[in-house]
Amino acid sequence: MINIDKALNNDRLMKALSGLNVMEFNQLLPTFEKLLYVKAKNKERQREVGGGRKGELKLASHKLFFIVFFLKVYPTMDLAGFIFGVDRSRPCRWVQDFLPILEEVLGRECVLPKRKINSIEEFTRLFPDVKEVLIDATERRTQRPKNFKQQSRMYSGKKKDHTRKNTIMSDKNKRILLVSPTKNGKVHDKKMLEKENGLENIPPNVDILTDKGYQGIDKLNKNDNKVFIPKKKPKGKDLTEEEKEENKIVSLFRIPVEHAIGGIKRFGCLSNDYRSKNGKDDKFILVCAGLWNYHLRSAA
């Protein structure tokens, strides 16, 4: 079995195996341990909490390590079972048990991004210091579905593969403000933003920066926000030198959202092919975005 205690005392090893350093891990642990106890106590039991046969993951630190290790490395259940010395079915149950607890921990730390913003007032209350919103979409490959109709829905012409995708909104400090619900790869970036009414609740004094995939976004802008989007090369013509310079400036100011997406894709569950079929990837991207925001706050 993997020597978890060795990893918990080695900063470099912790970053490689979990995406967190030792300090960040230890700061999350007390709340995680408390919520584990609450969950165990709320079950119908014949013994007191802690009674009965001890599992392979005996300590709360081992359980927290497992779930962040799983998100970071994203092993198959067979490989996870081999690494932790258990049957392959056990890691599957551990993920089901520990992932919601980790999500609740990050929620209590106030680092989870929003899934939807319902009003301008809510945006102002949540993000009073934000003056620019950077918008982009991220896709991750998934296994090819057996059902032909599902194949068509999940096929992304951009990636030339079957994918799942989300809209990401971040600020200039790379903090992720919003992660939209996960959609199939066929949905266009702008269409996905339009269906979620992603622009209607951004205050008028907040600037919006996007990439070329959001051409025509001005028609969705109902609050007179300043929208900065690179100019697209006209068919059969070239951009002027002035337009090229403007595109470089817009791209320069958009870099933080690319870094934010790169931050969450440090986790293997988002950079490797998604293997499950029950939509758990939606929970993966939310929790990984929370871990990224938590890392940024700890590093500040």
Among the residue ranges 64-73, 162-171, 188-197, 200-209, the one predicted with the least confidence is 188-197
Task: Identify which has the larger pLDDT, 189 or 175.
Answer: 175
Cα of first residue to Cα of last residue in the chain, in angstroms, is: 35
Q: What three-state secondary structure class fits 166?
A: strand
User: What share of the chain in percent tops pLDDT 90?
Assistant: 61
> Is residue 263 within 8 Å of residue 174, measured between CB atoms?
yes
Per domain, the residue ranges of the chain are 4-108, 120-275
Of 44-48, 67-71, 226-230, which one has max mean pLDDT? 67-71
User: How confident is residue 43, by pLDDT bands cut at 50, 70 and 90?
Assistant: low
Distance CA 187, CA 244 (A): 29
* Predicted local confidence at residue 222, as pLDDT: 79
Q: Is the pLDDT of residue 182 over 60?
A: yes
Q: Is the pLDDT of residue 188 over 80?
A: yes
Please tell me the pTM assigned to this model.
0.91
* Predicted local confidence at residue 61, as pLDDT: 94
Cα within 13 Å of Cα(231), Cβ side: 16
* Predicted local confidence at residue 51, as pLDDT: 58
Average pLDDT over residues 161-188: 93
User: What share of the chain in percent tops pLDDT 70?
Assistant: 95
Mean per-residue pLDDT over the chain, rounded? 89
Q: Is the pLDDT of residue 234 over 60?
A: yes
For 155-221, where are the alpha helices, taking DSSP H only?
189-195
- Strand 227-228 relative to strand 207-209, pairing: parallel
DSSP assignments along 208-268, one per residue: EE--GGGTTGGGG--S---EE-PPPPPTT----HHHHHHHHHHHHHHHHHHHHHHHHTTSH
- The token pair at 64 is 């927290």
User: How confident is residue 241, by pLDDT bands cut at 50, 70 and 90?
Assistant: confident
User: How confident is residue 268, by pLDDT bands cut at 50, 70 and 90?
Assistant: very high
